[in-house]
Structure 1
Amino acid sequence: MKFPCRLDKFVSNVGELPRTKVKSLIKKGNVAVNGLICKKNEQQITASDDITLNDKPLKYLGKRYFMLNKPQGYVCANHDELHPTVFDLLDEPNLKDFHIAGRLDIDTTGLVLITNDGDWSHQITSPKKQKFKTYLVETKEIITEEALFDLRQGVALHNEKQLTRPAQAEALGKYALRLSICEGKYHQVKRMLAAVENHVVELHRENIGGIELDNDLEAGQYRPLTEHEIRIINAI
């Protein structure tokens, strides 16, 4: 949320109420600004103003950042009519303005970053920033040295004119590898493995731009990012 902003927008956002209902509450005198009843929807307020609704304070919590260990079966979306979303796993107030910085497929597990800071998430998602995302990949076929070489050089994806950018690829076993990419094309890891005549069986993200998934987080659990982790993304 950017300040200054309209009073009705603030109350609607922080109070998680429809704007039409908020306007009615303001008109009835249920909202106060710095202790004084305010009946003007368009009243401009700042982050330092004290706003109350029915004598209860409404506090904008500022920019917030979370890491989540996404389980299978959840989609990375704010709303979905068919599946539960990662936001269903967050027990936090005022999530209306939050978004996902780097989505995962419904069957992919691991690190998801959720924030209401658009500038910060842009550092992750912008192709120009080239932030690496690291995945643990279990494959159907044996991983060959030739496949690793091709992944490190860049491979041709179906319906793509240019090769993928060079990836970091490390074999962890006959059917497992760690793959780091700095792009975010649709189903990219799965398509890259298909390009080297293999198939992804399981996919788990463990790192985004230097932020490592906390090993203490079970599937479905989350925690706020530390100040250090937040700064990592903004580092050049």
Structure 2
Amino acid sequence: MSTQDNFDQGRSSNKPGKNARKKSMARGNAPLKSEPSKKATGRQQDPAKPKLKFDKNGKEIGRREKPVKEVKKSNPEDGVRLNKYIANSGVCSRREADTYIATGLITVNGKIINEMGYKVKLTDDVRFDGRRLNPEPNTYILLNKPKGFATTDSNAKGMTVMDLVANATTAKIKPFGRLGRNATGLLLFTNDDEFVQKFTKKGITRLFHIELDKNLKSEHLKKIKEGFTVEGKEITVEEISYVDNSPKSEIGLKIKHTGNSIIRTIFEHLGYDVVRVDCVTLGPLTKKDLPRGRWRALTEKELNLFSMI
């Protein structure tokens, strides 16, 4: 049989001959990829692992994901280590704080603590050699208080001044001095215990604009100016006068006192009802550019003025 006969026989049986020309793979003639061989590869699939499956969209399902570890965030309410608390207050480093703790120079709520790793809360009274420590920077906020807010940090009193300064700072500030619920005007907040102790003892001069239910008699004005005694307690003021261009029921009273009840004590003793109380100035501070219900932080210049008092 000739070579040609062999070629023709191969074509008729759809089997390529020995010298048959190979089919071109160009223009889409490439063969389809065959499925991967199912022959054993020597690796045995772990029966514990699920076989990979795919949904109709081609997305892999049944894949084993690694569990995500939950990171536990620290909660300030759980307390901080005592040496960190001391270091944050600016007294010393943590290593030095450990030495002070070991030697019994640190007290927590009046009790000597020399236990390493002891945890305290921000509300605890922590003292180094008798001086109270504060792990937060000293903060001073001035509020122009509106009516209807109690001067307290207790939630049991309804709406309080703390609601008005809630977004002012993250520091644990408290009101210094008091204004009645229906009184208005300047009120200071701080977390500086030394500041509070200093001016609680010395007092801060405050100027009040007071409205009475009737005109204040001139003899009563003179009596208040000279000072008098109520229930064995001496009442003294720095200045008192009628407000210019206003009825004589409106009084300007300057007094160095951090409380608010003293004003009612003065006028009720003389037979007057207090209708309105507004704190116009507090030490070197005024209400300038501070609308009712708003607050602002004290400037460095204002803090320096307090240091001169």
**Shared fold by TM > 0.5?**
yes
Deviations 1:35-87 (A, max 9, x none): xxxxxx444362378xxxxxxxxxx7511111101111111111222311111
Determine if contact 1:154/1:167 at 8 Å carries over to the other structure.
no
Determine if contact 1:150/1:196 at 8 Å carries over to the other structure.
no
Q: After superposition, where does 1:1-236 map in structure 2 within 5 Å?
A: 17-19=76-78, 41-44=81-84, 46-47=87-88, 62-90=137-165, 91-96=167-172, 98-126=173-201, 129-157=202-230, 160-172=231-243, 173=246, 174-184=248-258, 187-212=261-286, 214-236=287-309
CA distance in 1, matches of 2:269, 2:83: 57
Deviations 1:116-149 (A, max 9, x none): 11111233322xx243211000111112211211
Measured after TM superposition, the shift of residue 156 of structure 1 is 2.8
The number of residue pairs the alignment matches comes to: 189
Distance 1:43 1:233, change over 3 A: closer
Determine if contact 2:136/2:171 at 8 Å carries over to the other structure.
no
Following TM superposition, the consecutive aligned residue runs of length 4 or more in structure 1 with deviations greater than 6 angstroms are none
1:232 corresponds to which letter in structure 2? L
Deviations 1:189-219 (A, max 9, x none): 011111222221000011122322x232222
CA RMSD of aligned residues (A): 2.6
CA distance in 1, matches of 2:150, 2:185: 12
CA distance in 1, matches of 2:259, 2:295: 26
SS at match of 2:276: strand
CA distance in 1, matches of 2:169, 2:238: 38
SS at match of 1:122: helix
Whose RCO is larger (CA < 8 A, sep 6+)? 1
CA distance in 2, matches of 1:147, 1:76: 30
Aligned equivalent of 2:36: none
Aligned equivalent of 1:52: none
1:205 corresponds to which letter in structure 2? C
SS at match of 2:229: coil
Distance 1:42 1:171, change over 3 A: closer
SS at match of 1:110: strand
Determine if contact 2:237/2:254 at 8 Å carries over to the other structure.
no
CA distance in 1, matches of 2:171, 2:259: 27
Determine if contact 1:153/1:167 at 8 Å carries over to the other structure.
no
2:307 corresponds to which letter in structure 1? N
CA distance in 2, matches of 1:62, 1:222: 19
What TM-score, normalized by structure 1, do the two folds share?
0.71
- Fraction of identical pairs, as percent: 23
What TM-score, normalized by structure 2, do the two folds share?
0.55
Measured after TM superposition, the shift of residue 111 of structure 1 is 0.4
Determine if contact 1:134/1:181 at 8 Å carries over to the other structure.
yes
Deviations 1:169-202 (A, max 9, x none): 0101321011011234561101111122222100
Determine if contact 1:211/1:232 at 8 Å carries over to the other structure.
no
Determine if contact 2:237/2:253 at 8 Å carries over to the other structure.
no
1:144 corresponds to which letter in structure 2? K
1:95 corresponds to which letter in structure 2? A
CA distance in 2, matches of 1:88, 1:186: 20
Deviations 1:83-109 (A, max 9, x none): 11111111134233x121111111111
